[in-house]
């Protein structure tokens, strides 16, 4: 059951797991997104692991402007009744896929640089925690009207620190954003696969509308073929990484084939040559030769955006690995413990904050006791401040950047009159667009 604290507004996203809806949070007065996963423990085990991993990673990566922020994990009534999971995050207005498909104007140079920089900034933080995202694609890049950019969906992510090998290889990275070594089943966890995916997103941003997915393969073979035709067959076969079966497939089919790398300047005739240079470095077949996130951030194309001091690292490495043979019931217990531990942590934060407030109040009382008693806040005022601070404990989405709307092509993203206007009319929770609570529960 969804607590009365949340009032549902409308469905906003559909994923492999179930659905995401927007909701009004009465406790903070803000809108949130709630991802609902029903009957989780009736599904396959890999799916349960995916959700548990997502909870843990979202908790770990909570403090970054370019990563969706975990706001709440809804506490089930008790362990026996625990079957659905609700993940509450800050609400964003749309994802990059919707923006790219609905906006029929080319992006300005500055907006492309801005998007790419923000994605790389978030990815730098993720990689510094020794996490590989493994499913970067436009649908997993969220945006809002203020053009904050946030990476979401950590269900396929893995901890490199723990060397946790992805055992459900058929669930890696959406095909069109998949690096060649992933297609060829390389068994090494490598941050370079995320750089490839960002390169594919970058290529789409550079396209003039109607934007095409840069490498839109219709199956695994077709995907590999497209990559090789555009990025060239490697002159030295050792540049190609894969499992023995993957490499066998390659040599069976491509040993005598030579595709030169296409001229990317011709593929993107309107693009800044520096953008093309960076793209080529991101779409290197050999993961060892592919530019790193740090290298990309420092590339001359992003010179105007780059500020190393502002591209922060995660203070702690994420090193979680599943017990190899965890049963479904053990995963259920781990997930329940995770949610309870989240609530305990929140309580501790609240208590700390209260303690600080009381200390401040005492200092203020002490300072004022000899001078003017009128300076001491009245009880009502103190209560108000206190409430504000408690709700302020929940990290807010960054609000800066509203001027970035002007970065976009004429009319900005919200007024091009073609499909994007829906974002202008984002539902007010008081209006009739409200999603009936029962509908969401039944979705």
Footprint of ligand ATP on 49-78 (CB under 6 A): 68
> Rounded to whole angstroms, how far apart are CA atoms 123 and 237?
29
**Which two tokens mark 218?**
């219709």
Contacting ligand ATP (CB under 6 A), which of 139, 146, 280, 294?
139
Contacting ligand ATP (CB under 6 A), which of 130, 153, 181, 311?
153
Q: Which stretch binds ligand ATP (CB under 6 A): 147-155, 162-170, 218-226, 262-270?
A: 147-155
Cβ proximity to ligand ATP: between 291 and 397 the closer is 397
* DSSP, residue by residue, 342-378: HHHHHHHHHHHHHHHHHHHHHHHHHHHHTS-GGGSPP
Query: Of these partners, ligand ATP, Mg ion, none, which one is at the site of residue 412 (CB under 5 to 8 Å by kind)?
Result: none
The answer to whether residue 33 forms part of the interface with ligand ATP (CB under 6 A) is yes
Element (H, E) at 116: helix 109-128
Q: Does the annotation count 84 as an active-site position? A: no
Query: Of these partners, Mg ion, ligand ATP, none, which one is at the site of residue 33 (CB under 5 to 8 Å by kind)?
Result: ligand ATP
Shortest Å distance, C-beta 280 to ligand ATP: 27
> Rounded to whole angstroms, how far apart are CA atoms 226 and 219?
10
Give the angle subtended at the CA of 142 by the CAs of 198 and 305, to the nearest 5°. Answer: 60
Q: Which stretch binds ligand ATP (CB under 6 A): 10-18, 58-66, 184-192, 385-393?
A: 10-18
Q: Which residue's entry shows tokens 């609240």?
A: 350
The answer to whether residue 192 forms part of the interface with ligand ATP (CB under 6 A) is no
> Rounded to whole angstroms, how far apart are CA atoms 253 and 255?
6
- Give the orientation angle of helix 109-128 with respect to helix 192-206, to 10 degrees: 170
- Three-state secondary structure readout of 269-330: CCCCHHHHHHHHHHCCCCCCCCCCHHHHHCCHHHCCCCCHHHCCCCCCCCCCCCCCCCCHHH
Catalytic residue among 25, 65, 135, 153: 135
Contacting ligand ATP (CB under 6 A), which of 56, 58, 64, 89?
89
Beta bridge partners of 94: 143
Contacting Mg ion (CB under 5 A), which of 90, 140, 144, 233?
140
* Interface residue list for ligand ATP (CB under 6 A): 12-13, 15-17, 20, 33, 35, 68, 89-92, 95, 139-140, 142, 152-153, 155
Residues that bind Mg ion (CB under 5 A): 140, 153
């Amino acid at each position: 059951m969804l607590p009365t604290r949340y009032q549902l507004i409308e469905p906003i996203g559909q994923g492999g797991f179930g659905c995401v809806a927007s909701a009004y949070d009465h406790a903070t007065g803000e809108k949130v997104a709630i991802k609902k996963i029903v009957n989780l423990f009736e599904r396959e085990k890999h799916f349960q692991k995916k959700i548990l991993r997502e909870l843990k990673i979202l908790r770990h990566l909570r403090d970054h402007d370019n990563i969706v922020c975990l706001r709440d994990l809804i506490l089930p009534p008790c362990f026996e009744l625990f079957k659905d999971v609700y993940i509450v995050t800050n609400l964003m207005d749309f994802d990059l896929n919707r923006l790219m498909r609905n906006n029929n104007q080319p992006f300005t140079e500055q907006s492309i640089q801005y998007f790419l920089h923000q994605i790389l900034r978030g990815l730098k933080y993720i990689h510094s925690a020794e996490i590989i995202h493994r499913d970067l694609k436009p649908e997993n890049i969220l945006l809002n009207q203020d053009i904050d950019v946030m990476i979401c969906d950590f269900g396929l992510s893995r901890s490199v620190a723990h060397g946790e090998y992805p055992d459900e290889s058929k669930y890696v990275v959406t095909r069109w954003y998949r690096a060649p070594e992933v297609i060829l089943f390389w068994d090494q966890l490598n941050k370079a696969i995320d750089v490839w995916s960002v390169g594919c997103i970058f290529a789409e941003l550079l396209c003039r509308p109607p934007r095409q997915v840069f490498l839109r393969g219709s199956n695994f073979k077709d995907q590999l073929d497209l990559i090789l035709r555009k990025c060239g067959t490697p002159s030295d076969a050792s540049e190609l990484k894969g499992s023995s079966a993957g490499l066998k497939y390659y040599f069976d089919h491509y040993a005598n084939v030579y595709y030169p790398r296409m001229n990317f300047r011709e593929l993107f005739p309107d693009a800044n040559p520096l953008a093309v240079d960076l793209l080529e470095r991101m779409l290197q077949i050999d993961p060892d030769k592919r530019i790193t996130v740090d290298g990309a951030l420092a590339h001359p194309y992003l010179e105007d955006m780059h500020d190393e001091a502002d591209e922060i690292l995660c203070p702690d490495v994420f090193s979680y690995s599943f017990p190899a043979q965890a049963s479904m019931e053990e995963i259920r217990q781990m997930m329940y413990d995770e949610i309870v531990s989240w609530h305990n942590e929140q309580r501790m934060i609240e208590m700390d904050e209260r303690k600080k407030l009381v200390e401040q109040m005492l200092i203020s009382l002490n300072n004022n006791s000899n001078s003017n008693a009128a300076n001491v806040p009245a009880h009502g005022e103190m209560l108000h401040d206190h409430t504000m601070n408690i709700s302020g404990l929940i990290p807010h989405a960054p609000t800066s950047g509203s001027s970035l709307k002007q970065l976009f092509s004429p009319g900005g993203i919200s007024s091009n009159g073609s499909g994007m206007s829906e974002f202008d009319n984002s539902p007010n929770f008081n209006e009739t667009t409200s999603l009936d609570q029962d509908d969401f529960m039944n979705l």
